[in-house]
Amino acid sequence: MHITDILVTGEPIIYGAMVSMALGGLAILFVLTYFKKWGWLWREWLTSVDHKKIGVMYILSALLMLFRGGVDAMMMRVQLAFPDLGFLNSQHYNEIFTTHGTIMIIFMAMPFLIGLMNIIVPLQIGARDFAFPYLNALSFWSFFFGMALFNISFVIGGSPDAGWTSYTPLSGAAMSPGPGQNFYLMGLQLSGIGTLATGINLMVTILKMRAPGMKLFHMPIFTWSTLVTCFIIVFAFPILTVALALLTIDRIFGSQFFTLTGEGLPMMWANLFWMWGHPEVYIVILPAFGIFSEVISTFAKKRLFGYNVMVWSMIVIALLSFLVWVHHFFTMGAGAFVNSVFSVSTMLIAVPTGVKIFNWLATLYKSKIEFTVPMLWSLAFIPSFILGGVTGVMLGMAAADYQFHNSYFLIAHFHYVLIAGTVFACFAGLVFWYPKMFGHKMNERLGRWAFWLFFFGFHVCFFPQYFLGLDGMPRRLFITNVAEWLPLNVISTVGAAGMALGFVVFVYNVYYSFRYSERETTGDSWNGNGRTLEWATTTPVPYYNFATVPYVDEIDPYVRMKEEGKTTFEEDKVKPIHMPSYTGQPFIFMALLGLASFGLIFEWMYLAVFGLIGGVVMMIRRSFDYDDGYYVSVEEIKETEKKARGL
């Protein structure tokens, strides 16, 4: 096979991307070598099992993916606003909407939230680390190599082009030959394993490693949302694993699950995909609800209104999320009874969600609101998300869905819930907990600029799309030079540019704050408004997290701790802390599985078998690994704490 058979050729934009990727890669290599940072990178990051560092790596990857997915989005918007320009050809357009959707859901939203969970959840419950730190590193690297695999597809082998839902028979071997769809299947499969492992890991962490006295109904609401989310992950991700595996076997080994020959049933793919896919949207929205709850209660300076109801509504949402999947394909042609059942269950979800909205409003009612940047994102979320939710109920009516389905009305709806819900929450959470992660806040003025640009850009971009949908504009359409649609499309593209600008300001703010922000001296960064245990640690958080874990018997324990002058450092109670050792095994293990997946993508079976054997060898090594970690001595803890607390 010649190199030009593998590389994607003939597209000026992709050549540009290749050159910039090569240059970027070379620049990173150069910087690492020039400043002699290779050892540092390996010792401090690639081999780390510290939940805080893994969380930071998740968030960095997610921001990178937000950039990549955002560039895809901008290219689509340019094409739609200037359809006669010939900016993209149809094939390239298909690839871009596919990668945009897949990346934003799987490689942006989930890792961003999982990154925040990684950093914050152990701190909120007073844990030393995850229950299984090794497994946590494994999860991250499986996500990372899955992401890398998916992203190289556009320069090597060609991107998948069957939409992020990858419906069969279009995505089957007969109609999409070549490696493109395989990249989708293997990239998702590899990162899905990591997500499942994270779900198990966090569940055990939350159930077994809480501070003494902390009952489940004393947990901070973000931790609760994480627990419920992990429950969904554990039960939903195996469905995706199977669906992906079946399609892979179809494509590579010639089975007949979703084919048009051999009495295969292509719609079964849609059925399985959405059995995972619907719970998946709750996997990315419930943690967002958790973040908003924390931020709103902190800056309203009140205990969250209706804490118990908030928790129960999340649990109800989680259970309902497994009962509504058919509303994604009402137009499959099922009978009225099938569609009605799922129509009713879909509309039921609006009830617990509505309960949550009213609880947030009740928390805000008669409170002294402090308009910080995270609070701005949270306040903007409420009305924006309601717009998305209400149109969701419209889409949930099966008969009406025949009109809305696959139109821009749908596009506008799910961007309204996913951006106003998940993306706003990612920004709110990142800004909110930024001082905990990096020891300084993000600049508020720049933060407000980023917020307003993104917020207005978002509404200008997506509100017109409801009307485009009602005017009949279908999604995934490459030629749109219908005069009636053009003005709204141009407005929408202007809005998208606003969002892009907001993102640029946000990223610049990371740099600006690193240079100029005041360093934090106290752990309770937001003017002493912290309510939960993560704010009781010093900033930056010592690698062992808590010198002594306080006894907790209420919600928002840090409020009373501050009143009583208690800290997480009670000198006479310090004991040695058991810590896991860093290890390079997860990185190597997942690199080998990444290699195996790469082999499968191109159907180079020798490479695949080699990678798999390597993976098995790594598992055997792990089985014989009796490394028991080490203890942090009392002296070291006391010294660290005294220095950090200025005692």
Partner 1 sequence: MAAEELKTGPLEYRTQEGQMGIMGFWIFLGAEVVLFATLFATYAVLFGRTADAPLPSELFEPGIVLIMTFLLLTSSFTCGLAIHEMRRGSVKGLIFWMAITLALGLGFLGFEIYEFVHYAHEGATLQSSAFWSAFFVLAGTHGLHVTLGIGWAILLLIQIKQRGLTNVTSRKFFIISLYWHFLDVIWIFIFTSVYLIGMVI
Partner 2 sequence: MNHVIGFILSLVMTLVAAWAAIQSDLPVTWVIIGIMILALLQAGVQLFMFMHVTEASSGNGHVPWNMMFHGFALAGIVVAGSLFVMSFGHDHGDHGDMGDMQQQEEQHSEDHNGH
Per CB under 8 A, residues contacting partner 2 are 207-208, 231, 234-235, 239, 265, 267-268, 271-272, 275, 322-323, 325-326, 332-340
Q: Which does 626 bind (CB under 5 to 8 A by kind): partner 2, partner 1, none?
A: partner 1
* Shortest reach from residue 162's CB to partner 1, in Å: 20
> Would you count residue 213 as binding partner 1 (CB under 8 A)?
no
Sign of CA dihedral 257, 259, 262, 264: positive
Provide the 8-state DSSP code for 350.
Answer: H
For partner 1, the binding residue among 5, 84, 263, 572 (CB under 8 A) is 263
* Interacting span for partner 1 (CB under 8 A) from 67-75, 180-188, 535-543, 626-634: 626-634
Instruction: Confirm if 530 and 524 have CB atoms less than 8 A apart.
Output: yes
* Shortest reach from residue 592's CB to partner 1, in Å: 17
Tokens of 612: 């798999």
> Would you count residue 472 as binding partner 1 (CB under 8 A)?
no
* Shortest reach from residue 335's CB to partner 2, in Å: 2
- What angle do the packed helices 51-81 and 424-438 form, to 10 degrees? 150
Residue among 198 and 517 whose Cβ is closer to partner 1: 198
Site string for partner 1, 216-255 (x = CB under 8 A): ------------------xxxxxx-xxx-xx--xx--xxx
Residue among 37 and 208 whose Cβ is closer to partner 2: 208
Provide the 8-state DSSP code for 247.
Answer: H
Restricted to residues 274-293, the positions that interact with partner 1 (CB under 8 A) are: 275
> Which among 633, 347, 104 has a CA at the least distance from the CA of 641?
633
* Shortest reach from residue 181's CB to partner 1, in Å: 18
Restricted to residues 333-362, the positions that interact with partner 1 (CB under 8 A) are: none
> Would you count residue 264 as binding partner 1 (CB under 8 A)?
yes
Residue among 7 and 338 whose Cβ is closer to partner 2: 338
Could you give the CA distance from residue 74 to residue 500 in angstroms, rounded to a whole number?
Answer: 8
* Shortest reach from residue 247's CB to partner 1, in Å: 11
State whether residue 156 is helix, strand or coil.
strand
> Which among 461, 601, 443, 437 has a CA at the least distance from the CA of 516?
443
* Shortest reach from residue 626's CB to partner 1, in Å: 7
Could you give the CA distance from residue 212 to residue 521 in angstroms, rounded to a whole number?
Answer: 28
Q: Which does 474 bind (CB under 5 to 8 A by kind): partner 1, partner 2, none?
A: none
366 CB neighbour count, 10 Å cutoff:
8
Instruction: From residue 305, give the alpha-carbon distance in Å to each of 87, 125, 559, 561.
Output: 51, 21, 16, 21
Could you give the CA distance from residue 198 to residue 89 in angstroms, rounded to a whole number?
Answer: 39
* Interacting span for partner 1 (CB under 8 A) from 104-112, 196-204, 397-405, 441-449: 196-204
Instruction: From residue 569, give the alpha-carbon distance in Å to each of 434, 522, 634.
Output: 23, 14, 12
* Shortest reach from residue 271's CB to partner 2, in Å: 6
Residue among 147 and 246 whose Cβ is closer to partner 1: 246
514 CB neighbour count, 10 Å cutoff:
11
Q: Which does 307 bind (CB under 5 to 8 A by kind): partner 1, partner 2, none?
A: none
- Please name every residue paired with 631 in a beta bridge, in sequence order, or none if there are none: 578
* Shortest reach from residue 631's CB to partner 2, in Å: 23
Q: Which does 4 bind (CB under 5 to 8 A by kind): partner 1, partner 2, none?
A: none
Tokens of 340: 């009605």
Q: Which contiguous run of DSSP H or E holds residue 494?
A: helix 486-516
User: How many Cα neighbours within 13 Å face the side chain of 585?
Assistant: 20
* Shortest reach from residue 226's CB to partner 1, in Å: 14
Restricted to residues 569-598, the positions that interact with partner 1 (CB under 8 A) are: 576, 578
Which residues 6+ apart lie within 8 Å of 165 measured at CB? Answer: 101, 270, 273, 277
> Would you count residue 564 as binding partner 1 (CB under 8 A)?
no
Look-up: residue for tokens 């991250």? 140
Look-up: residue for tokens 């689509």? 76
Could you give the CA distance from residue 601 to residue 605 in angstroms, rounded to a whole number?
Answer: 9
Q: Which does 337 bind (CB under 5 to 8 A by kind): partner 1, partner 2, none?
A: partner 2
* Shortest reach from residue 109's CB to partner 1, in Å: 21
* Interacting span for partner 1 (CB under 8 A) from 128-136, 311-319, 508-516, 525-533: 128-136
Judged by the rule CB under 8 A, the positions of this chain that interact with partner 1 are: 128, 131-132, 196, 199-201, 203-204, 207-209, 234-239, 241-243, 245-246, 249-250, 253-257, 259, 261-265, 268, 271-272, 275, 576, 578, 620, 623-624, 626, 628-629
